[in-house]
């Protein structure tokens, strides 16, 4: 165990371990991506996609090793016992820090299929990881403001087509499609700017959820609603690497997806836009109350 080391040294060691672990598995992912490009037919794609997801899961397992060796974090996780590793899920979570990604991966690795995120188009240029996300069929979305989309409605169709193509690939093997409905990390400044009605959350944006439900809603067994709380304060990435996250609380709730929200066009169907926004608002009301309750809890249980 290396938990006794000074925080800066742990941070440096963890950063090195993360980099080496990422490069190791990325090389193998790139090799399989080449195979997928050379064999683009369905009969070959399914086994190749399974191998790619297993490689990505091994990357998460490797990260879990250095986390376990260097961090004293106490984990309180609930609601994961009945999840299935061979199902299709739509996953939604509040978003506060880049640390959320590592938390989600640690909690769900082996419990549900590998998480695939809707990513901003610019992230494809992130060294190593951008190509890995591309190889793993993560959908890259172009973010446009509502005003821009009003002037250029055809751009909304581009995102719909991107999502449709991604979800067509997701339908081949069990997949978990991940979305942060807030669209960005929570900060007090963003909270004030939005005049959010929630105490701990930004307003939910339902575009990505709607696109996924339109493309493959009938595949999803449920929506996994995840709430992450850092009782001692939201850590930044370096604090996490240095092992300064004392406690993480993760509450998971599996929600049925209403039938009237499946397979409908968010851009053209005003009634659908109202219905899915209301559904999201109700989840956010409950999530906001839950976060208040979790902040008030004093004891944590290990995973």
pLDDT above 80 (res 220): yes
Please check whether residue 19 lies inside any domain of the structure.
no
Q: Indicate if the pLDDT at residue 300 is higher than 50.
A: no
Residue 158 in this model has a pLDDT that exceeds 80: no
Domain housing 110: 72-296
With a cut of 80, say whether residue 153 has pLDDT above it.
Answer: no
- Let me know if residue 12 belongs to a domain: no
**Mean pLDDT of the region 198-223:** 90
For residue 152, the surrounding DSSP H or E stretch is: none
Contact between 202 and 184 (Cβ < 8 Å): yes
Say if CB 102 and CB 224 are below 8 A apart: no
In which band, very low, low, confident or very high, does the pLDDT at 149 lie, cut at 50, 70 and 90?
Answer: low
Token readout for 73 is: 């974090």
What is the mean predicted confidence (pLDDT) over 197-211? 92
Q: Pairing mode, if any, of strands 140-141 and 115-117? A: unpaired
In-domain check, residue 268: yes
pLDDT at residue 176 greater than cutoff 70: yes
The count of structural domains within the chain is 1
Residue 72 CB partners (closer than 8 Å, separation 6+): 3, 243, 246
What's the angle, vertex CA 260, arms to CA 194 and CA 274, rounded to 5?
30
Contact by Cβ (8 Å): 136, 53: yes
Distance set, CA 220 to CA 30, 167, 263, 267 (Å) = 28, 11, 12, 21
pLDDT in the model for residue 297: 74
Residue 251 has pLDDT above 80, yes or no: yes
- Cα-Cα-Cα-Cα torsion 76, 78, 82, 85, nearest 10 degrees, comes to -50
Distance CA 67, CA 199 (A): 31
Q: Domain holding 104: CATH number?
A: 3.40.1130
Whether 58 maps to a domain, the answer reads: no
Mean pLDDT of the chain: 88
CA–CA distance, 172 with 45 (Å, rounded to integer): 8
Over residues 24-39, the pLDDT tens digits come to 999 999 999 899 888 8
Per mean pLDDT, which range of 69-83, 263-277, 289-303 is the poorest?
289-303
Residue 28 is classified by DSSP as H
Q: How confident is the model at residue 292 (pLDDT cuts 50, 70, 90)?
A: very high
Predicted pLDDT of residue 61: 96
Tokens 């109202």 belong to residue: 274
User: What's the pLDDT at 302?
Assistant: 46
Structure tokens at 71: 């961090």
Query: Hey, which residues does 112 pair with through a beta bridge?
Result: 109
Percent of the chain predicted with pLDDT > 70: 91
pLDDT tens, residue by residue, 98-132: 999 999 999 999 999 999 887 877 888 888 888 88
Closest residue by Cα to residue 35 from 26, 25, 47, 24:
47
Over range 194-205, report the average pLDDT. 95
Q: Does a structural domain hold residue 165?
A: yes
- What mean pLDDT do residues 257-283 have? 92
Question: Is residue 252 pLDDT above 60, yes or no?
Answer: yes
Q: How many CB atoms lie within 10 A of CB 268?
A: 10
108 located within any domain:
yes
pLDDT reading at 301 higher than 70: no
The tokens of 12 are what? 């440096």
| Residue 55 forms part of a structural domain | no
Collapsing DSSP to helix, strand or coil, 120 comes out as: strand
Q: Quick check: is 277 in a domain?
A: yes
Q: φ, ψ for residue 54 (rounded to 5)? A: -65, -40
Q: Show the tokens assigned to 68.
A: 């376990």
For residue range 26-82, list pLDDT tens digits in order: 999 999 989 988 887 777 788 888 999 999 999 999 999 999 999 999 999 999 998
DSSP H stretches of helix in 126-269: 129-135, 146-151, 154-170, 188-194, 207-216, 237-241
Give the pLDDT score at 273: 92
């Amino acid at each position: 165990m290396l938990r006794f080391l000074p925080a800066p040294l742990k941070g440096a060691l963890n950063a090195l371990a993360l980099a080496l672990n990422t490069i190791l598995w990325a090389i193998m992912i790139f090799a399989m991506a080449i195979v997928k490009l050379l064999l683009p037919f369905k009969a070959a794609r399914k086994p190749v996609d399974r191998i790619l997801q297993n490689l990505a899961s091994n990357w998460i397992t490797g990260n879990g090793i250095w986390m376990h060796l260097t961090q004293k974090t106490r984990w309180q996780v609930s609601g994961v016992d009945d999840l299935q590793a061979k199902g299709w899920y739509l996953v939604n979570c509040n978003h506060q820090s880049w640390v959320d990604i590592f938390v989600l991966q640690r909690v769900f690795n082996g419990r549900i299929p590998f998480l695939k995120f809707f990513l901003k188009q610019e992230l494809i240029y992130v060294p190593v990881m951008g190509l890995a996300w591309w190889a793993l069929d993560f959908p890259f979305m172009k973010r446009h403001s509502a005003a821009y989309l009003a002037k250029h409605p055809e751009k909304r169709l581009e995102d719909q087509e991107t999502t449709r193509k991604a979800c067509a690939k997701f339908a081949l093997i069990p997949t978990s499609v991940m979305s942060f409905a807030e669209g960005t990390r929570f900060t007090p400044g963003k909270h004030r700017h939005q005049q959010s009605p929630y105490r701990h959350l930004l307003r939910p944006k339902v575009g990505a959820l709607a696109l996924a439900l339109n493309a493959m809603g009938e595949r999803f067994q449920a929506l996994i609603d995840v709430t992450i709380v850092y009782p001692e304060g939201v850590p930044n990435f370096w604090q996490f690497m240095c092992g300064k996250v004392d406690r993480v609380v993760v509450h998971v709730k599996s929600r049925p997806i209403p039938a009237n929200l499946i397979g409908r066009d968010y851009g053209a169907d005003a009634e659908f836009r109202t219905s899915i926004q209301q559904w999201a608002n109700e989840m956010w009301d409950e999530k906001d109350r839950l976060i208040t309750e979790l902040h008030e809890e004093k004891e944590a249980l290990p995973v």
